[in-house]
Amino acid sequence: MEFNVADLVEAAVDRVPEREALVCGSDRLTYAQLDQRANRLAHFLQSRGFGRGDHIGIYGFNSARWVESCLAAYKIRAVPINVNYRYVEEELLYLFDNADLVALVHDAQFAPRIANVRSQAPQLRLCIAIDDGSGQDCAVIGSVPYEHAAAEGSPARDFGPRSGDDLYILYTGGTTGKPKGVMWRQQDVIFTLGGGIDHTTNEPAATPEVLTNKIMPAFYLTTAPLAPLMHGAAQWTVLGPLFTGARVVLSSGRFDPHQVWRMIERERVNTLALTGDAMARPLIEALSEPGVSYDLSSLMVITSTAAVFSPSVQAQYVERFPNVMLIEATGSSEQGSTGMHTITKEGLTQTGTRQHGVRIKPGKDVMVFDEDLQPVPPGSGVVGKLARGGNIPLGYYKDPEKSAETFVEIAGERWSIPGDYAIVEADGTVVMLGRGSVSINSGGEKIYPEEVEGALKSHPAVFDALVVGVPDERWGSRVAAVVQPRPGQKPTLDELAAHCRARIAGYKIPRELHLVGQVVRAPSGKPDYRWAQQTALTGQYRA
What phi and psi, each to the nearest 5 degrees, are found at residue 253?
80, -170
pLDDT of 512 > 50? The answer is: yes
The answer to whether domain 5-15+30-204 has CATH 3.40.50.12780 is yes
Q: Give this prediction's pTM.
A: 0.86
pLDDT score at 101: 98
Mean pLDDT of the chain, nearest integer: 91
Tell me the pLDDT tens digit for each residue of 238-260. Answer: 999 999 999 999 998 888 999 99
Residue 541's pLDDT is 40
Query: Tell me, what's the pLDDT at 354?
Result: 44
Nearest to 299 by CA among 273, 329, 330: 273
Q: What is the CATH number of domain 439-538?
A: 3.30.300.30
Distance CA 344, CA 503 (A): 20
Model pLDDT, residue 155: 97
pLDDT digits (tens, 9 = 90+) for 351-397: 544 445 678 888 889 999 999 999 999 999 898 999 999 999 999 99
DSSP class of residue 375 equals: B
Is 430 or 443 the better-scoring residue by pLDDT?
430
- Range of weakest confidence among 64-68, 217-221, 534-538: 534-538
In Å, what is the CA distance from 72 to each residue of 249, 427, 451? 20, 46, 42
In 3D space, the residue among 423, 536, 408 whose CA is nearest the CA of residue 472 turns out to be 536
pLDDT top residue among 442 and 272? 272
Average pLDDT on 160-170 reads: 97
- Please tell me the distance from the alpha carbon of residue 133 to that of residue 25, in angstroms, as a whole number: 13
Listed in order, the ranges of the chain carrying CATH 3.40.50.12780 are 5-15+30-204
pLDDT confidence tier of residue 177, bands split at 50, 70 and 90? low
Angle, in degrees to the nearest 10, between helices 493-501 and 449-457 = 110
Q: What is the mean pLDDT of residues 180-202?
A: 90
pLDDT digits (tens, 9 = 90+) for 23-65: 999 999 999 999 999 999 999 999 999 999 999 999 999 999 9
Q: What is the pLDDT of residue 104?
A: 98
- The pairing of beta strand 384-388 with beta strand 366-369: antiparallel
Q: What is the pLDDT of residue 359?
A: 83
Domain with CATH 3.30.300.30 in the chain: 439-538
CA distance 92 to 222: 34
Average pLDDT on 225-244 reads 94
pLDDT of amino acid 363: 81
* pLDDT at site 312: 85
Across the range 169-175, mean pLDDT stands at 77
Q: What is the pLDDT averaged over residues 467-492?
A: 90
Question: For the stretch 312-351, what's the b/e string if a residue is b when 16 or more beta carbons lie within 10 angstroms of its beta carbon?
Answer: bbbbbbbeebeebebbbbbbbbbbbbbbbbebeeebbeee
Q: What is the pLDDT of residue 542?
A: 41
Contact by Cβ (8 Å): 259, 253: yes
